[in-house]
Amino acid sequence: MNLKISALDYVQEVKTGNISAEDFVAKTLERIKNVDDALHAFLSVNEDAITQAREIDKKVKSGKKVGDCFGMPISIKDNICIKDSKTTCASKMLENFVAPYDATVITKLKQQDAIFIGKVNMDEFAMGLTTEFSAFGPSKNPWNTDYVPGGSSGGSAVSVSAFECIASLGSDTGGSVRNPASFCSTVGYKPTYGLISRFGLISYANSIEQIGPLTRTVKDSAFMLNMISGIDPNDNTTIDNKNEDYLSGIDSGIEGKKIGIIKEMMGDGIDPAVLTATKDAISKLESLGAICEEISLDMVKYSVAAYYTITATEAGSNLARYDNLRYGYDFSLEGYEFNSYISKARRNFGPEVTRRIILGGFVPSAGHAGKYFLKALKVKSKLTKEINEAFKKFDLLLSPTVPILPFKLGEKIDDPISLFLVDINTVTANLTGKPAISIPFANSNGLPIGIQLMANSYQDKHLLQAAHALEQTVSLPEVSL
Amino acid sequence: MVTEEEIEQVSKLMRIDIDDHKEFVEKVHSMIDYFDILDSAGVESEEISMPEISILNLRKDEYIPFDDKLIEKLNHYKGTYVRAPKMSS
């Protein structure tokens, strides 16, 4: 049984009867059992997965209609609700929270006969980019377990990279799908804002976050997007994509496409190996017929400060609901006054979430809003104008996904500013609502490097075509774990 | 400069107890210091643009029956009420 196959190959194999969903799911669970003690991608595993797979095999054998996933095992970031399953957000505050309903993406995947093999680790409430801020311990990078896997969707990337599932869903607020995808050598896709419903995604910063797939190949991301995108009455920010087929024409290539290379994303602090890989990617795209040219985006250097100001503000508001009365852990009410009870109960948030809640109270407060929050919104507006101008000239924008290589666990955990700067290349897509993808492209001394492509809003299909073309130019090693 | 008193006041407003104010002052201060870069962005005259979201496609305002008793999922409830500590007078 080859657990390394792509989603599309898996579907074909089950459809034609070459493999059974039950066997594949059983082997996947065995793989999780064998490797996850070392990797800690999973927070919980679906004990009913084999039974569910057996049901799908029955449907295949009896000639009944089967959904497009054919029992494909998918891992789900633990901030996306699956009815009657724990959804912890990797937080002690929600350690025993069982979701009473399905997120829209889960409903859609259930309709397509996906199997949710387990819920995966993340930074607490998606605040972080190493998975070290999980209340349940960090995930480890399967390429070298001394290194961080990226975050906040670190468990998603690890589970795909280490063959513990075929695909995963993460969420991307400032790069949280693309960053771990780059660090673990998987594809990570952040769609145009509104393309995928956020209903059932536990909110961090609603105005910029999106659910996105992490997969082995670009085609698999397009396949996932076909199933989970589209308008949703439960999320008023969703857009009607007219059931666009993101897989069709994915081999169209990029001949004649104009690609802007963002100067500010390749500047000070970039690792020489990342720079070399990026230059190599540019050469390969040019050899495929693309026209590459440097572009400067002045606002990029302010984007991280604007991003953290906006997200802290939204997080401060979103996390106010965790008062331990409606949701929460076992903490007796007796002997407390109302406000002191809530303040005490909220001590169960981890250090990073606590910092962001405090920041979220500070930056929009009277006396400071003009200096921080309003200015951040203005940077966001100006950055969006700059990007929109850029897309009048270019079809795509390119940069390394992350300017540095994966780093060691614990190396940056006490230095929030150096962690902030890891986000410099990814937050622009979130602040401007544009689609962006990280494509595995190189490997330096055993550590992966991803290349990011960004497109204009609603150009997701063209972005996937370009990403597929770039992906075809490289052959990368696999995790040897 | 963010003071310990400011952090204390904000933590009170955000309803979260913190053990070591000094530690938070140090870390929050370094973050706020970094945010000062926004002063040099030259965006004073920029207008804040917000995406327009249609209110025509809102979901129907209707009761959706639920199989389980949601209240039973709470840690503290009595009958059909959420239990909470007493408010101070």
pLDDT tens for A434-469 read 999 999 999 999 999 999 999 999 999 999 999 999
Cα–Cα distance, A401 to A404 (Å, whole number): 9
pLDDT tens for A115-138 read 999 999 999 999 999 999 999 999
- Lowest-pLDDT range, A57-71, A101-115, A216-230, B43-57? B43-57
> Which of chain A's residues have a Cβ under 8 Å away from the Cβ of B43?
375, 378-379, 381-382
- The backbone region for A40, taken as left when phi is positive above 0, alpha when psi lies in -120 to 50, beta otherwise, is left
Q: How far apart are the CA of B2 and the nearest CA of chain A, in angstroms?
A: 10
Cα–Cα distance, A69 to A169 (Å, whole number): 14
> Which of chain A's residues have a Cβ under 8 Å away from the Cβ of B10?
358, 361-362, 365
Q: What is the pLDDT of residue A481?
A: 67
Please state the rounded mean pLDDT for residues B16-38.
Answer: 86
Q: Which of residues 12-71 of B touch A (CB under 8 A)?
A: 12-19, 24, 27-28, 30-32, 34-35, 37-41, 43-44, 46-49, 51, 53-55, 57-60, 66, 68, 70
Find out whether B16 and A354 touch, Cβ atoms under 8 Å: yes
Dihedral of CA atoms A59, A61, A64, A65 in degrees, nearest 10, equals 80
Q: Quick check: is B11 in a domain?
A: yes
Enzyme catalytic residues of A: 77, 152, 176
The percent of residues above 90 in pLDDT, for chain A, comes to 95
| Domain with B4 in it | 1-41
Q: Distances from the Cα of A210 to the Cαs of A207, A235, B41, in angstroms? A: 9, 12, 27
Q: Quick check: is B34 in a domain?
A: yes
Please state the rounded mean pLDDT for residues A353-367.
Answer: 93
The CATH code of the domain that includes B4 is: 1.10.20
For chain A, the first-to-last Cα distance in angstroms comes to 17
Cα–Cα distance, A243 to B70 (Å, whole number): 34
pLDDT tens for A68-103 read 999 999 999 999 999 999 999 999 999 999 999 999
Query: Which has more confidence, A435 or B75?
Result: A435
pLDDT over 80 (residue B68): no
3-state secondary structure string across A55-106:
HHHHHHHCCCCCCCCCCCEEEEECCECCCCCECCCCCHHHCCCECCCCCHHH
Q: What is the pLDDT of residue B23?
A: 77
Q: What is the pLDDT of residue A270?
A: 95
Q: Which residues of A99-109 are buried (b: 16+ CB within 10 A; e: fewer)?
A: bebbbbbbbbb
Q: Quick check: is B49 in a domain?
A: no
> Which of chain B's residues have a Cβ under 8 Å away from the Cβ of A458?
none
User: Which of A376, A83, A332, A209 has its CA nearest to residue B75?
Assistant: A332
Q: Quick check: is B20 in a domain?
A: yes
pLDDT over 80 (residue A425): yes
User: Which of A474, A396, A481 has its CA nearest to residue A440?
Assistant: A474
Which pair of structure tokens corresponds to residue A35?
């490797």
Q: What is the CA radius of gyration of chain B?
A: 22
Topology classification of domain A7-252+437-471: Amidase signature (AS) enzymes (3.90.1300)
Q: Quick check: is B10 in a domain?
A: yes
pLDDT over 70 (residue A369): yes
Q: How far apart are the CA of B20 and the nearest CA of chain A, in angstroms?
A: 11
- Lowest-pLDDT range, A217-221, B9-13, B60-64, B83-87? B60-64
Residue extents of the structural domains in chain A? 7-252+437-471
Q: How many domains does chain B have?
A: 1
> Which of chain B's residues have a Cβ under 8 Å away from the Cβ of A377?
48
- Lowest-pLDDT range, A249-258, A357-366, A414-423, A470-479? A414-423
Cα–Cα distance, A3 to A6 (Å, whole number): 9
Write down the residue that tokens 């795509």 correspond to: A396
pLDDT tens for B35-55 read 999 999 999 999 998 877 777
Q: Which residues pair with A454 in a beta bridge?
A: A397, A436
Cα–Cα distance, B57 to A242 (Å, whole number): 16
Half-sphere exposure of A424 (CA within 13 A, CB side): 25
pLDDT over 70 (residue A208): yes
Pick among A81, A340, A358, A387 to test the B interface (most B CBs inside 10 A):
A358
φ, ψ (nearest 5 deg) of residue A231: -70, 145
Find out whether A180 and A156 touch, Cβ atoms under 8 Å: yes
